[in-house]
Structure 1
Amino acid sequence: MTDPTDLTAPRPDRRPGGRTARVRARVLDAVRAELTESGHEGLTMEGVATRAGVHRTTVYRRWRDVGGLLADVIDAAGETDWRPPDTGSLRGDLTALNQEIQESLVVRPSFAVALMAASFHSEQAARAQTRLWADRYAQCEVLVERAVARGELPARDADARSLLIAATAPLYHQLVLLRADPDPRLPERAAAAAVLAAAAGAFSGRREEST
């Protein structure tokens, strides 16, 4: 199963095949490698072209600038056939999702940090990242829908996105912000806390008007 946040691995291209697809794959692999090794500050069009073995004119013509490269790396992550976990329970689904996230952040944490930092320096990359996360959250809303159907959550409007953010945020806080060692218990603990809060109505879509 492919982690929704894992942008590090080569991606199968859904666009037309042939030389164009091969060049794109090589260039995006080079971008990932450059980000991992040097961060977004060290990412250059020339460096990517050299690593990819592609003439820099080709890179400039297709991607125009570093922002275009970053945006395409992020867009490529959205082209996978990833599906949310289906373990039979909301707690199990969220735990499995968190385990995937933790694994991806542990494998190449410098890449994740570099890409997040890059989005603050490139409006094009920031827009691509917003699109990717919106798509992933939309895909994962089925976890909440199944939980309601099973009777695990109250049969009322649930704010699925808020629940998903609450369940997964501790992983990013621990591994990306604090850069702490991975805790094998954290994926389940974070999932359990979110499920308890959801069962208590913390993520109900209804909002009480303040008096």
Structure 2
Amino acid sequence: MTSIESPSGRGPAVGRGNKMRAAVLAATITELTERGYATLTVEGVAQRAGVHKTTIYRNWKTADGLVADALAGHFATEIPIPDTGAVDGDLRALARSLVATMTAPAGRALLAIALSDAMRLPQLAQAKKALFEDRFRRAEPVVTRAVERGELPAGTDPAELLKALVAPVYFRLVFTEEPVDETTADRAVDVALAAAHARALPTPCRTRPTAGPHFGL
């Protein structure tokens, strides 16, 4: 991240407190999307948010802390956890929402950051870890409800099924750069469910993995 000054002038004033915080975090996401992490500046965020840069520094000790908060806040609410009454519908909604999120400009910007050297920075690495764990924790009820309804075998590990679900999507996004759409999402659901019914998923374990660019789910 550079410290290059942005053009002078700011947007409309946004006041203080929660309104200011929301404006700054939203501006940070927009700057990441349009400029990328490497050229994002506090000055640029301040201008877009309509605040002075000293306001940002009073509320966030570092620019990396600001980016970490912005990413966590944006993606913590980006994908709602569905409850359609059937595991097929729930997983399909999850997978399609993941595809929509990660193919949007903010999702692509996030993925670029997740795969860059920026993730060696402690605050960003911790934000990735926390968000990854939060995604699986929030989505676990989709699997546990399915087990209770008899739609999935007893003992199905929610995290392992969810990893099987997102793997085909991320493989295309990161490695092959093939088109990713709702068809990709639906096929991922079929693969994950087939693996679960065949009892091919790893057995439950107490320790969840914390690596990997799984911000979306």
Aligned-pair CA distance for 1:111: 2.2
**Partner Cα separation in structure 1 for residue 24 and residue 97 of structure 2:** 26
TM-fit CA distance, 1:172 = 2.0
User: Which of the numbers 187, 191, 194 marks the counterpart of 1:193?
Assistant: 191
Match runs of 1:162-181 below 5 Å: 162-181=160-179
Deviation at 1:145, TM superposition (A): 1.0
Q: In 1, Cα distance between the equivalents of 2:58 and 2:48?
A: 17
One of 21, 31, 36 as aligned partner of 1:39: 36
Structure 1 21/206 Cα, relative in aligned 2: closer, same or farther at 3 Å?
Answer: closer
How far off its partner does 1:74 sit? Answer: 2.6
Q: Does 1:27 align with 2:41?
A: no
* Residues 110-158 of structure 1: per-residue CA shift (max 9 Å, x gap): 3233442465142112212211221120111111111111212222x22
More deviation in 112-121 or 88-97? Answer: 112-121
Q: What one-letter code is carried by the residue in structure 2 that aligns with 1:186?
A: T
**In 1: Cα distance, 2:204 partner to 2:168 partner:** 25
Question: How is 1:107-146 mapped onto 2 (pairs within 5 angstroms)?
Answer: 107-108=104-105, 109-117=107-115, 119-146=118-145
- What does the per-residue CA deviation read over 1:169-205, in whole Å, with 9 as the maximum and x for residues that have no partner? 2222223444332233111110111101011112252
Residue among 94, 98, 101 paired with 2:98: 101
Counterpart CA distance in 2 for 1:51 and 1:121 is 27
Give TM-score scaled by structure 2 length: 0.77
How much does 1:60 deviate?
1.3
Q: 1:125 to 1:101 in 2, by over 3 A?
A: same
Supply the distance in 1 between the matched residues of 2:170 and 2:73 (Cα, whole angstroms).
Answer: 21
RMSD: 2.3
Sort the Cα spacing of 1:28 and 1:179 in 2 relative to 1 into closer, same or farther, 3 A. farther
Letter in 2 for 1:164: L
Give the whole-Å Cα distance in 2 for the aligned partners of 1:192 and 1:130.
Answer: 28
Instruction: Tell me, in whole angstroms, the C-alpha distance in 2 between the residues paired with 1:185 and 1:81.
Output: 21
Q: Residue 92 of structure 1: which of 67, 89, 102 is its match?
A: 89
1:69 alignment counterpart: 66
2:166 aligned partner, one-letter code: T
Cα distance per residue 1:43-92 (max 9 Å; x no partner): 11122112222111111121122211111113323664964212232222
| Gaps in structure 2 of 5+ consecutive residues | 1-14, 206-217
Rounded Cα–Cα distance in structure 2 between residues aligned with 1:176 and 1:34: 22
Q: 1:81 and 1:33, CA in 2 relative to 1: closer, same or farther beyond 3 A?
A: closer
Aligned partner letter, 1:162: E
Aligned to 2:8: none
Give the partner amino acid of 2:158: A
> CA 1:42/1:50 → structure 2, altered by over 3 Å: closer, same or farther?
same
Which of 34, 49, 53 aligns to 2:50? It is 53
